[in-house]
Amino acid sequence: MSRLTVNVDGGARGNPGPAAIGVVVRGDGGEVLEELGERIGEATNNVAEYRALLRGIELAGAHGATELELVGDSELVVRQVEGRYKVKNAGIRELYDQARKALGEFDSWSIRHVRRESNGDADRLVNEALDGAR
């Protein structure tokens, strides 16, 4: 059984505008296994947050996780994935459905909302990717 924690963040400069995602995969002891920051083209903040979530889920699977804890600073995305908020936007609905399907591959998973300051590594990766776009 392999338990991983994945911090995810997405952001856009402008809404929509140039967007990027940041993902930090940590092992059970908190050690960083992988960091990823990449531009994703033009997107809204919410689309970027979902794209980061999907990439985080994908990377966790690639690292052999059977149990997954996702950590993000987008209250909207976290509450939607938890099932506490409805998904009203059609474009977001598709990303939400992909995320829920991907999470079904794990023995167990959870998602937790944190303040941006507590998601600093993923936030830094987003900004580094966006700054590199200049």
Domain spans in the chain, listed from the N-terminal domain onward: 3-131
Residue 133 pLDDT exceeds 70: no
**pTM of the shown model:** 0.96
Mean pLDDT (the chain, rounded): 96
- Over residues 7-21, mean pLDDT: 97
- Over residues 8-18, mean pLDDT: 96
DSSP three-state, residue 76: helix
Residue indicated by tokens 């963040």:
9
**Residue 62 near residue 92 (C-beta atoms within 8 A):** no
* 115 phi and psi angles, rounded to 5 deg: -70, 155
- Over residues 74-95, mean pLDDT: 97
pLDDT at 65: 97
Residue 134 pLDDT exceeds 80: no
pLDDT at 129: 97
CATH number of 3-131: 3.30.420.10
Residue 67 pLDDT exceeds 80: yes
Residue 61 pLDDT exceeds 90: yes
**Residue 77 near residue 14 (C-beta atoms within 8 A):** no
**Residue 62 near residue 77 (C-beta atoms within 8 A):** no
- Over residues 79-92, mean pLDDT: 96
pLDDT at 110: 98
And the tokens for 59? 């990377």
**Residue 51 near residue 6 (C-beta atoms within 8 A):** no
What percent of the chain stands above pLDDT 70?
A: 98
